[in-house]
Structure 1
């Protein structure tokens, strides 16, 4: 057993938490990582400080061949503890494209958006009209996208070239592919109008009853 494997096994037994070696490009480092995201330098016998950047993303600095490199903690966890993300197997993910160019993000059929390199789920903001929207970095620029449009472009065929995406259940935050459909402006207006009339009719029946 190599020393790094021994140290990981020993820390697991001492702490009751699973520890595994950190290997970068197949090369052993002097560090081991716990499933909760703690980093330990087993040669210097000390824990590393985990820092946060301006985007509240956690990272740590590791030394290799006398060079210090910065690693995102969630990317390390994904590569060393891949089973932590097994819950994603029950939904399909597809890459997000912008103007025909592949981005570093993917969207799920249920309306989640994550980074490809570390599976970090991006929390959407809510537009004043009620739609979910997210900000992505692409080609050095920050872009804003509506989540329902990302889902539709990735999962729903659009043979007629429609420009609008309709929420079938009128819930603008239900961005599952099964709840979306491409449509033209007239259909979208008629759909919303029919929904409002149906609600009004139900209210009238309720009052008269």
Structure 2
């Protein structure tokens, strides 16, 4: 039976509420009952929308995993050459990350409670979206012959994940400028070799393009 608009709105409310609870309380401390109470509905009624807490968490992860922000950053980034484009994408992601740091907790819950079994489909989807956005973006700019879509998308995913994990769990207080510009610093280190390499080659004939 198709989901009605009201049913979809209720599902989204459950997902959004559960996301806040998983982040603030952790997975084990968040029960199906506590989610229902926070939403303002009977626990039994929530089973009309989800089979249980595991399914709710999977939907939360699918909607709010931090990787989901990468295609948006690629779509909005601008630059007249690969380095400018990369730095602008890094700037956009850094701004997003500063506002949504707590979402990394969803990734950790997934690793601990589910051994990361739900991450490959998300990665595959985000990777495909990133490549698509990159293709659309670069077709409007004078640099499309100098950038491998596959390499750039994969690098951005790895770069963003590296920043998320180290900035939150290094156990040290980072300098203020690094906290604000960390992703741009990471882009200089992580992608500079790639940028230099393609600048030397300077032609799509020498770089695999997907």
TM-score by length of 2: 0.25
The structure that is helix-richer by fraction is 2
TM-score by length of 1: 0.25
Higher RCO (Cα < 8 Å, 6 or more apart): 2
The structure that is strand-richer by fraction is 1
